[in-house]
Amino acid sequence: MFKNLINGEWVGASRTSRNINPSDTRDLVGEYAQADAEQARQAIAAAARAQPAWGLSTPQQRFDILDAAGAEILARKAELGDLLAREEGKTLPEAVGEVVRAGNIFKFFAGEALRASGDVLASVRPGVGVEVTREPVGVVGLITPWNFPIAIPAWKIAPALAFGNAVVLKPADLVPGSAWAIADILHRAGLPAGVFNLVMGRGSEVGQVLLDDALVDAISFTGSVATGQRIAAACVKRMAKFQLEMGGKNPMVVLDDADLGVAVNAAVNSGFFSTGQRCTASSRVIVTEGIHDRFVAAMAERMKALKVDDARKAGTDIGPVVDDKQLAQDLEYIGIGKSEGARLVAGGEAVERNADGAPGHYLRPALFADTTKDMRINREEIFGPVVSVLRARDYEEALALANDTPFGLAAGIATTSLKHATHFKRHSQAGMVMVNLPTAGVDYHVPFGGRKGSSFGPREQGRYAAEFYTTVKTAYTQA
Ligand code: NAD
């Protein structure tokens, strides 16, 4: 049994969860302890006891531990990538890429611990000096989803620790393996007991304790809109600081002057890779009249060549859907699309066994054409390999369609027009905008986040992470 890490000790539990490989559901990745509410409270209390000393530790101490953790993650990228692909179902190259990203994030925030700075200003009053400094927030609860099992925990844990906070991490129930590996690495890297705690378990039990316990000063959450709304309500009730990263319905605009190959590559990558299970996936492709039919035909052609198979097999383009519930949701939306009158151009069939006959949750990526903006498949996040094409008269209509969504995480445009690219970057109502690139796939050293219903609170990652993981103090001194 893989245990929880509470106050520097590995602690078992009376219940376990079975981590199953979605590429071959006969394959058990491992049994993971399920913390109960009392253990979650113990982890929070341990974090609260450990935080003051950690908050006063030297930047060098924090650098050394985060840098060592990053180095170990990078050195073990093949093994950890294999574990990630096995528990989540993204392809091996994608999984190794995610592990490398997690390692780089730890190294980046190791440096941020050293670079933390403030301001010194003259007061408007004579003889008075003003210092503006950043202090840790305290104990932070981190709640993460299943689709990036190592990168999302990393991009919350690393800044939290770099800025002197203590952490209680509750990873998604479906993919505890990668989070456990990070806990093991941090534990061995020499973190003092209680500074980092891992409590695997159910959101409604363990997650809820994190939301309600007064010792938790801040919550950083990534996951669905419905859970995010609950988290916001619970945090507001007791005035805890919170940050939410939630769903997307990201548009990609393809203009008549686009390079067709660039547009198709970007749309296939952002729509279908990682089995469409990325918050930054583009699920609405908005195509202007002059290129529309050529684009749809090229997409359908390209999709024929995509290999849907075991995530860890060389040559697989698209791994399985993460579990049977998500597969059922994807299929339900494909049915909804058909019943709404959208034309299914390609894919959309569930495949029960992979090329080797192993049972898994496979789905051929689906492309809908002739869709309209009010269809549910164009308004609600499906979170699977399902893309719909919308037809637009011109750039102006395409931009309006792109922004006509309750979400605002990422948006893309394929065009060779500098004028339209520049206008789109300025007028897209998304937190991240890509020109001639997939909407998914971002750097680790710059801010990540969205607007409208996709995000709430400060950005994650890069230097902007300090906004959430620190609190500002303004001190006045009369000389
Ligand atoms: P989810 O909301 O079901 O679960 C996310 C986490 O919240 C899990 O750890 C879960 O156990 C926990 N949780 C559930 N109920 C809780 C409660 N009552 N109290 C506290 N915690 C609770 O999301 P998911 O299915 O794991 O992930 C998919 C979603 O994540 C998609 O909507 C996707 O768009 C979103 N996502 C967003 C981003 C982003 O940065 N915007 C990145 C990745 C995924």
Average pLDDT over residues 234-238: 98
Tell me, using a 6 A CB cutoff, whether residue 248 lines ligand 1: yes
Condensed to tens digits (0 to 9), the pLDDT of residues 102-118 reads 999 999 999 999 999 99
- Protein residue with its CA nearest to atom 14 in ligand 1: 203
Indicate if the pLDDT at residue 479 is higher than 90.
no
Average pLDDT over residues 142-170: 98
- Protein residue with its CA nearest to atom 10 in ligand 1: 203
Q: Which of 279, 439, 442, 444 to mutate to test the pocket of ligand 1 (most atoms within 8 A of CB)?
A: 279
Residue 235 appears among annotated catalytic residues: no
Are 4-246+454-478 and 250-435 in the same CATH fold?
Answer: no
Indicate if the pLDDT at residue 68 is higher than 90.
yes
Q: What residues contact residue 422 under an 8 Å CB cut-off, 6+ apart?
A: none
Q: Is the dihedral of CA 73, 78, 83, 85 positive or negative?
A: positive
Q: CB count, 10 Å around CB of 473?
A: 11
Indicate if the pLDDT at residue 252 is higher than 90.
yes
Condensed to tens digits (0 to 9), the pLDDT of residues 350-364 reads 999 999 999 999 999
Nearest to 150 by CA among 218, 92, 83: 83
Say which DSSP state 173 is in: T
Say which DSSP state 301 is in: H
Q: What's the pLDDT score for residue 436?
A: 98
The domain 4-246+454-478: what is its CATH number?
A: 3.40.605.10
Record the pTM. Answer: 0.97
Residue 279 appears among annotated catalytic residues: yes
Exposed/middle/buried for residue 458 (C-beta within 10 Å: 0-12, 13-18, 19+): middle
Q: Is 250-435 a CATH 3.40.309.10 domain?
A: yes
Catalytic residue (choose from 112, 245, 381, 460):
245
Tell me, using a 6 A CB cutoff, whether residue 219 lines ligand 1: no
Q: What's the pLDDT score for residue 415?
A: 98
Q: Which helix (H) or strand (E) holds 114?
A: helix 92-115
Give the ranges where 376-445 is alpha helix by DSSP (H). 376-379, 395-403, 418-427
Q: What's the pLDDT score for residue 271?
A: 98
Q: What's the pLDDT score for residue 293?
A: 98
Q: What's the pLDDT score for residue 165?
A: 98
Tell me, using a 6 A CB cutoff, whether residue 271 lines ligand 1: no
Condensed to tens digits (0 to 9), the pLDDT of residues 325-353 reads 999 999 999 999 999 999 999 999 999 99
Structure tokens, 99:
């592990």
Q: What's the pLDDT score for residue 266?
A: 98
Q: Is the dihedral of CA 89, 90, 96, 102 positive or negative?
A: negative
Catalytic residue (choose from 87, 88, 279, 381):
279
Indicate if the pLDDT at residue 188 is higher than 90.
yes
CB 36 within 8 A of CB 14: yes
Tell me, using a 6 A CB cutoff, whether residue 118 lines ligand 1: no
| DSSP bridge partners of 28 | 20
CB 2 within 8 A of CB 33: yes
Q: Tell me the residue ranges of DSSP E strands in 259-417.
A: 282-288, 343-346, 350-353, 359-363, 366-371, 386-392, 407-408, 410-414
Tell me, using a 6 A CB cutoff, whether residue 227 lines ligand 1: yes
Q: What's the pLDDT score for residue 465?
A: 98
Q: CB count, 10 Å around CB of 38?
A: 9
Indicate if the pLDDT at residue 408 is higher than 90.
yes
298 band by pLDDT with thresholds 50, 70 and 90: very high
Q: What's the pLDDT score for residue 46?
A: 98
- List the domain boundaries for the chain: 4-246+454-478, 250-435
Tell me, using a 6 A CB cutoff, whether residue 72 lines ligand 1: no
Q: State how far the alpha carbon of 272 is from the alpha carbons of 266, 275, 276, 388, in Å.
A: 10, 5, 4, 12
